[in-house]
Amino acid sequence: MTTDLDAAIGAVVDGLRASTVRVHDAGGRGSGSGIVWNEQGLVLTNAHVVRGASATIETANGETRRARVVRRDDRRDLAALHVEHAAGFVAAPTRDSRTLVPGELVVAVGNPHGFVGAATAGLVHRCNARWVVADVRLAPGNSGGPLADAQGRVVGVNSMIANGLALAIPSALVQTFLGESERRIGVAVTPVRSSRSDHAYLVVEIEAGSIAERSGLQIGDTILGLEPHRFASVEALDILRGGYPSSVRLERAERSHAA
């Protein structure tokens, strides 16, 4: 019986290791862990792991790749990174954390103290809208790594230790964070005058991996006819490019779904 359980947990850990990366802050301020959230290069980690605008991602097989922070929320301690060359990435399956119950077995994988792919297991103490609390042992370097159920489905992003217990950000909160990110088109704009519209905004910056970049929006384009708070509700933008009117259809990425 024990041998069967050990084998099952070992298989879960192997799967999680394939979807767990090391995240090195570009400013040299430390490192932590991250979760491959989809195979298009989206990696989730803690905001406190990546302080700047970029990071280096180290995969399970030791390859390193550059990544840019495309969204962060310091209050929730979450950061989303985009890796341009994501070939070979294995996305972690997820589960809605709201279905967790106290006493469930959970497994954490990360890179504590530089030990790559270290694993620890424990039981869920409680789960609410802010934290999944479990008695798994975490250490510096685990931050940003996955907390998963007995089937290897991610239910949280490990964040900190309090009173000897692990606190992970629930997957339901991560989905909210990503949903907000998906509603943002990913541009910085500045108001400009235009004879074609009372509301015109010059695009001065475009986030890597954003809806705007995927849709072909360019720095220097002028977005016409929209209030800023209405940007999230449209499927296409009327623009001026090089002084000539055009239209850009917003290409929204598929969202991750809870298993």
The active-site residue, picked from 33, 143, 171, 215, is 143
Average the pLDDT over 45-55 and give the result: 93
Which residue's entry shows tokens 């989206």?
Answer: 42
Q: Which of 75, 71, 77, 81 is nearest to 184 (CA)?
A: 71
Phi/psi region, residue 243 (left: phi>0; alpha: psi -120 to 50; beta: rest), is: left
Average the pLDDT over 184-191 and give the result: 77
User: So what's the pLDDT on residue 243?
Assistant: 87
User: So what's the pLDDT on residue 234?
Assistant: 54
User: So what's the pLDDT on residue 230?
Assistant: 41
Mind listing the pLDDT tens digit for each residue in 197-228? 777 888 988 877 778 888 899 999 998 875 44
User: So what's the pLDDT on residue 184?
Assistant: 66
Do 194 and 224 form a contact (C-beta atoms < 8 A)?
yes
Does 195 have pLDDT greater than 70? yes
Active site residue 48: yes
User: So what's the pLDDT on residue 228?
Assistant: 43
The active-site residue, picked from 19, 25, 33, 48, is 48
User: So what's the pLDDT on residue 204?
Assistant: 86
Sign of CA dihedral 89, 255, 172, 233: positive
For the chain, domains (ranges, CATH) are 2-83 (2.40.10.10), 97-179 (2.40.10.10), 184-249 (2.30.42.10)
Which residue's entry shows tokens 């985009």?
Answer: 82
Q: Which of 94, 27, 33, 78 is nearest to 60 (CA)?
A: 33
Q: Can you tell me the distance from the alpha carbon of 141 to that of 143, in angstroms, rounded to the nearest whole number?
A: 5
Q: Binning pLDDT at 50, 70 and 90, where does residue 235 land?
A: low
Give the DSSP H/E element, type plus range, for residue 8: helix 2-18
If you average pLDDT over every residue of the chain, what do you get? 85
Mind listing the pLDDT tens digit for each residue in 3-17? 777 778 888 899 999
Active site residue 247: no
Q: Would you call 67 helix, strand, or coil by DSSP? A: strand
Q: Binning pLDDT at 50, 70 and 90, where does residue 254 land?
A: very low
Distance set, CA 51 to CA 45, 70, 179, 190 (Å): 11, 13, 22, 26
The active-site residue, picked from 25, 31, 77, 171, is 77
pTM of the model: 0.69
Do 177 and 205 form a contact (C-beta atoms < 8 A)?
no
Does 239 have pLDDT greater than 60? yes
The DSSP line for 186-230 is -EEEEEE--TT-SSEEEEEEE-TTSHHHHHT--TT-EEES--GGG
Buried b (16+ CB within 10 A) or exposed e, 2-38: eeeeeeebeebbebbbbbbbbbbbbeeeebbbbbbbb
Q: Quote the tokens at residue 100.
A: 């967790």
**Considering only 111-115, 141-145, 185-189, which range has the smallest mean pLDDT?**
185-189
Please state, as a whole number, how many other Cβ atoms lie within 10 Å of the Cβ of residue 85: 12
Q: Quote the tokens at residue 244.
A: 């000539």
Average the pLDDT over 234-241 and give the result: 80
Average the pLDDT over 140-165 and give the result: 95
Average the pLDDT over 231-247 and give the result: 77
Half-sphere exposure of 258 (CA within 13 A, CB side): 19
Active site residue 85: no
Higher-pLDDT residue of 198, 59:
59
Q: Would you call 173 helix, strand, or coil by DSSP? A: helix
Mind listing the pLDDT tens digit for each residue in 72-93? 899 999 999 999 888 889 999 9
